[in-house]
Amino acid sequence: MKDYTKMWENIGLNLDAHAGLLGVLTDAYKSIYLSQKNRPKAMEYFDFVISEVHGQRIEEIYEAKKNKRKIVGTFCVYVPEELVLAVDGVCVGLCAGAEVGSAEAERFIPRNTCALIKAFMGFKLAGLCPYVELTDLIVGETTCDGKKKAYEIFNEITKKVYVMELPNMKSEEDRKLWLGEVKKFKNKMEALSGRKITLDDLKKAASIVNGKRKALQRLSRLRAADPSPISGLDALLVNQIVFYDDPLRFTEMTNKLCDELEERVRQGIGVAEKGSTRILISGSPMAIPNWKLHSIIEGSGAVVVGEESCVGERNHRNLLDENFSSIDEALEKIASRYLGINCACFTPNDERMDDIKSLVKSLHAQGVIHYSIQFCTPYMMEAYKAEKAVTDVPFMRIETDYSMEDLGQLKNRVEAFIEVIKGRA
């Protein structure tokens, strides 16, 4: 790896702590990812991206910033990426998937806050996230209570948080409110960049973001094969990297991966043996480098075939209707596309139950593991309804955080669950 020390220093990272973080990340990646057998060749690109996640990609974003492009950081799939790209901005998901800076974060937020919120506060406070340092704007949303209140504090610390008001229901009034928020966000992006958005800008942005979604949908469909041509761990990685990588390059490389997977499916080549137990994961998002549950499941001989999650299906299952001929029409379509995401922050949220059931069918899942990050009230609560909705296959709830303390206990539970599934076959 090239020496990026000077760049990290200029960005203002805590160099010693950052070196420690990269060391831990590299070791975890080697033991979880590089030890897998029979991986698709095209995963080499994604291995490279991870090895350069705080290197080459940061260099690219740093360059873009020098060229006066605006860098916009996000924590939620409700933020319309099209409006960032329409002003030639760069949209990045911010670091939130590892247990770092917890002590620093707990000076501002309660100990019993979900690990994702604690991590985004911790990464910033410990000086470990180069993305957050490069942002011109951080976009928050009124989703769960924890995030909503944490953004107030995050703004005190960073002075660059903008919050979109997301309704909690999906009635006509709520749709109007949300459309108003999308329009306000367009104005915000224009003011930030000093550039007026044209219809052409929107058309181009829509096609780029849809390109990524289509590539991910293709990947998702290929996982329905038995044997699955790709591990859940690798598919999760691709679904995590989409939030960081250059969008056009990401689409090209994911499609290349899918070409290879199609060939594998034709030849009956899989990562696990045909007939291996197939698990669908549903619940809270798994931000990079949260690979804990997938690695336990796949280390126990099953294969994860899908994620009903924002790092997964919820991020890409709906395309934006590109058939618009005015800016107003485009904004309406954007608002409606995003309101079709079924996050547990909504009430009622029965559509999410339909999504889970339909994924069980289409991916031929034999069991559902409902994953909630500990203290994530929306998903912990909604597990009840999900369990009631899934009647055809066994269902198990897991609540955990980013620490490795419960690894042994989780492994025992997952293995017992796989045995239950096998017993039904």
- Contact residues for ligand BJ8 (CB under 6 A)? 76-78, 114, 116-117, 143-144, 146-147, 284-285, 310, 341, 343, 345, 373, 376, 378-379
Contact 154, 105 (CB under 8 A): no
Q: Residue 12 or 110: which CB sits closer to ligand BJ8?
A: 110
Q: Residue 40 or 285: which CB sits closer to ligand BJ8?
A: 285
Dmax (CA) of the chain: 62
Q: Residue 147 or 264: which CB sits closer to ligand BJ8?
A: 147
Please, what is the minimum distance in Å from the beta carbon of residue 163 to ligand BJ8?
13
Please, what is the minimum distance in Å from the beta carbon of residue 173 to ligand BJ8?
20
Please, what is the minimum distance in Å from the beta carbon of residue 104 to ligand BJ8?
18
Q: Which two tokens stand for residue 186?
A: 């367009």
Q: Residue 265 or 288: which CB sits closer to ligand BJ8?
A: 288
Please, what is the minimum distance in Å from the beta carbon of residue 343 to ligand BJ8?
3
Q: Residue 164 or 219: which CB sits closer to ligand BJ8?
A: 164
Please, what is the minimum distance in Å from the beta carbon of residue 282 to ligand BJ8?
11
Q: Residue 76 or 368: which CB sits closer to ligand BJ8?
A: 76
The CA distance from 45 to 214, in Å, is: 19
Q: Residue 78 or 178: which CB sits closer to ligand BJ8?
A: 78
Q: Residue 115 or 261: which CB sits closer to ligand BJ8?
A: 115
Q: Residue 9 or 145: which CB sits closer to ligand BJ8?
A: 145
Q: Residue 177 or 224: which CB sits closer to ligand BJ8?
A: 177
Please, what is the minimum distance in Å from the beta carbon of residue 166 to ligand BJ8?
8
Residue 418 phi, psi dihedral angles, 5° rounding: -65, -40
Q: Which two tokens stand for residue 46?
A: 């994604």
Please, what is the minimum distance in Å from the beta carbon of residue 373 to ligand BJ8?
4
Q: Residue 116 or 359: which CB sits closer to ligand BJ8?
A: 116
Distances (CA, A) of 416 to 186, 349, 393: 50, 30, 15
Please, what is the minimum distance in Å from the beta carbon of residue 143 to ligand BJ8?
3
- Residue whose pair of structure tokens reads 């547990």 in the numeric block: 344
Please, what is the minimum distance in Å from the beta carbon of residue 284 to ligand BJ8?
4
Please, what is the minimum distance in Å from the beta carbon of residue 285 to ligand BJ8?
5
3-state SS string for the chain? CCCCHHHHHHHCCCHHHHHHHHHHHHHHHHHHHHCCCCCCCCHHHHHHHHHCCCCHHHHHHHHHHHCCCCEEEECCCCCCHHHHHCCCCEEEECCCCCCCCHHHHCCCCCCCCCHHHHHHHHHHHCCCCHHHHHCCEEEEECCCHHHHHHHHHHHHHHCCEEEECCCCCCCHHHHHHHHHHHHHHHHHHHHHHCCCCCHHHHHHHHHHHHHHHHHHHHHHHHCCCCCCCCCHHHHHHHHHHCCCCCHHHHHHHHHHHHHHHHHHHHHCCCCCCCCCCEEEEEECCCCCCCCHHHHHHHHCCCEEEEEECCCCHHHHCCCCCCCCCCHHHHHHHHHHHHHCCCCCCCCCCHHHHHHHHHHHHHCCCCEEEEEEECCCHHHHHHHHHHHHHCCCCCEEEEEECCCCCCHHHHHHHHHHHHHHHHHHC
Q: Which two tokens stand for residue 326?
A: 């005015």
Expressed in angstroms, the distance from the first to the final Cα of the chain is: 48
Please, what is the minimum distance in Å from the beta carbon of residue 344 to ligand BJ8?
6
